[in-house]
Amino acid sequence: MPCTISVTAPSYAVTPLTFSCSKSTPICHTSNFLTKQNRKPLLRVTKSMNSNRVVKVKATVSIEKETPETERPDTFLRGNDDGVASSVRFRFEKMIREAQDKVCNAIEIADGGGKFKEDVWSRPGGGGGISRVLQDGAVWEKAGVNVSVVYGQMPPDAYRAAKGAASNDQKPGPIPFFAAGISSVLHPKNPFAPTLHFNYRYFETDAPKDAPGAPRQWWFGGGTDLTPAYIFEDDVKHFHSVQKKACDKFDPTFYPRFKKWCDDYFYIKHRDERRGLGGIFFDDLNDYDLEMLLSFATECANSVIPAYIPIIEKRKDLPFTDHQKAWQQLRRGRYVEFNLVYDRGTTFGLKTGGRIESILVSLPLTARWEYDHKPEVGSEEWKLLDACINPKEWI
């Protein structure tokens, strides 16, 4: 009796594949299974003795590559989604694309000459994105503003990355998902001008094939946070005041709750310090009305420009020393450490075969590491580090 092999796995994920053999038939000598896309070995099965058992092998499945596009489509939604103007998917995509246009326009005006390079891409399985990067401008060393709409099959470890390590609703197999979001990191040249990060996203999962009837899940996530190298209290208070104003329009508990969440999330455990001076952060948010949360995410995205651009206008042309620039580069090193080691968005993108240039656009153009560097106690650099170790209430 021939060996029966059943392989089902997403085309871009790393996931266990199960082989079932009859008691009388051994798994044959070394066999290669080929991907449809590139005909390279997908996985290797080696000789085994007869037994009535299931053999599980982990295999790296080839990634479904992006297709470059020459023009922006009206929507990245699949055909069965794009005609429903009332759907959350449609309205969220519309919101993030409008936010991308507004933020990029504000960044270019403040820079006074730099222009964003734009890449438009799609995937055969549906979805796509627009990546924009301004590099080596007059004000910004590197500024990235990306939007994406993604359909796919999520392996269990990526589901845990998306939901967080503490998630108890771990699914037994690949989970169909939809994700849309805007993500941006803005790294100025001047050490007195702070870095800004913001990200707003909407996520849905459907029942996996091996768990029919499981409920569809949805949630919102995101936040906006400030990472300066030097503290100007008026700037930090202004930034947090704008975040609080956006939160208070929906629930007075949002700002204190999401401010603490931000301080806790951007914690670099191996350094025992925060990445920056916080802002707001939330994730897995689905315990409120869906329409309310869509409006809340929209309000937060629309608050980015008034929270940040006035600070840039005040600080972008201040004179600075080589010592101050070196300190900025050291803090950029902390930024890199957090993003590559702890950030859930980066982890999720890498585990699901995301577009690598878009995932790593958050990293600064330059950074610095010095052995056992400690700022002088009482210095401006020390004040920043103290605020990162001991989060403050700014308003």
Give the catalytic positions in this structure.
197
Token output for 176: 């169909």
Give whole-number Cα distances, 304 to 80, 130, 375, in Å. Answer: 32, 19, 31
Decide: 4 and 54 in contact? Cβ < 8 Å: no
User: Distances in Å between the alpha carbon of 376 and those of 23, 279, 335?
Assistant: 71, 27, 21
Length of the chain counted residue by residue: 395
Q: Tokens at residue 361, please?
A: 């656009």
Closest residue by Cα to residue 300 from 220, 361, 187, 391: 220
User: In this structure, what is the dihedral angle of CA atoms 387, 338, 239, 110, given to the nearest 10 degrees?
Assistant: 130
Q: Whose structure tokens read 């001076």?
A: 277
Tell me the β-bridge partners of 195.
227
Closest CA to 185 of 219, 149, 141: 141
E strand or H helix at 154? strand 140-154
| Dist CA 325 CA 64 (whole Å) | 41
Name the one residue in this structure whose structure tokens are 């689905």.
286
The token pair at 151 is 């359909």
Question: Of 225, 187, 235, nearest to 388 (Cα)?
Answer: 225
- Distance CA(82)–CA(151), nearest Å, equals 13
Count how many Cα atoms sit within 13 Å of the Cα of residue 302 in the half-sphere of its side chain. Answer: 12
Dihedrals φ, ψ of 90, to 5°?
Answer: -65, -50
Query: If residue 177 lies in a helix (H) or strand (E), which one and from where to where?
Result: strand 175-188
Strands (E), 190-249: 195-205, 217-227
